[in-house]
Every structure is written in C-alpha cells, then in structure tokens.
Structure 1
Amino acid sequence: MVARSSWRGSISFGLVNIPIKLYTATNKREFVFNQLCQNGHRIRYKKWCPEEEREVPYSEIKKGYEVTKNNYIVFEKE
C-alpha cells in the first residue's frame, strides 16, 4: 500500500518554492498471540460451571454484575 501524505504545503524564499509533504511516522501493527502447549497445539478454554460440574455452551452464558458476594444483577438482551 502506498503511503499518503497527511499534509501538503510549501516553503517560499523569494523566487524559490520548496514543496513539502508530511507523512505519519509510525505504522499501526497488531500482533495476536495464541497460547500453545509444548507440542505446538493451540490451547482452548472451557466455560465451566463448578456448581453443576458441566461445560456451559456459549448460548447459555449471561452477563452479570456482582452486587454482594454470590449475588448478581443479570443483564439480558432485549
């Protein structure tokens, strides 16, 4: 991808005109790292309910705010 200037202008000294272009100094790069086991396989996380001792599917997971210990306000989509 060709870099575009973010500003254009010029400096003049009598009969001499010097064109100026301003470019951003850094490029935004994002790196995403995965966690791997010693053999190079990706590690996955289970959503686990310790009370029911079962894995909970994503469709059953809700969001909540803990008001007091083990007492939550549950938020649901309308």
Structure 2
Amino acid sequence: MPRPIWRGAISFGMVSIPVRLYTATESKDVSFRQLDREDHSRVRQLRWNMELDREVPYDQIVRGYEYAKDR
C-alpha cells in the first residue's frame, strides 16, 4: 500500500477529520470549451489579420509589442 506524503486533519469545532495526501498515479489533462450562455454552442476565437481581412494560421503568428503608434 502506498504511503501518504502528508498527514493532517481538518477540524470543524469539536469534529476532526483525518486527511492523507498521496501522490498521483497517472496524469490527467482537463480541457474546457467556451460556450454561449444561451444555447451552449461552442464559441471560437479566430486569429484575424485586420488589414488583410483574413484568418492567420497559428504557425504564422509571432509576438511583439508596439513601441510607437502603428509600429
């Protein structure tokens, strides 16, 4: 049986509940979708080039900052 990495207790007034913390045995990823509140349909975020009026592929995007107006 695995050993806990931490032991403690949670107390609520006169009641004390023992707690043991164990390491995870497997990794799980959780991903959430953004949904419209009204009909629960999926909301997508497009990477859009405002000057060329088209979507930009993810691999064509670089990071930068504006150091002067429109530069």
Structure-2-length-normalised TM-score:
0.52
Secondary structure in structure 1 of the residue aligned to 2:65: strand
**Which structure's relative contact order is higher, taking Cα pairs within 8 Å and 6+ residues apart?**
2
Which stretches in structure 1 are left out of the alignment for 5+ residues? Answer: 7-21, 72-78
- Determine the structure 1 residue equivalent to 2:4: 4
How many pairs does the alignment contain? 51
1:69 is paired with a residue whose SS is: coil
How far off its partner does 1:45 sit?
Answer: 0.5
Contact persistence 1:47–1:55 (CA under 8 A) = yes
Q: Distance in 1 between matches of 2:50 and 2:68?
A: 19
Identity of aligned residues (%): 33
Max radius of gyration: which structure?
1
CA distances 1:17-50 after superposition (whole Å, capped 9, x unpaired): xxxxx4386x9xxx86532122212101010011
RMSD: 3.0
Instruction: Describe the shift of the 1:67–1:3 C-alpha distance in structure 2 as closer, same or farther (beyond 3 A).
Output: farther
Greater share of strand residues, 1 or 2? Answer: 1
1:23 matched to 2:22? The reply is: no
Partner of 1:36: 35
TM-score (norm 1): 0.48
Unaligned runs of 5+ in 2: 11-20, 22-29
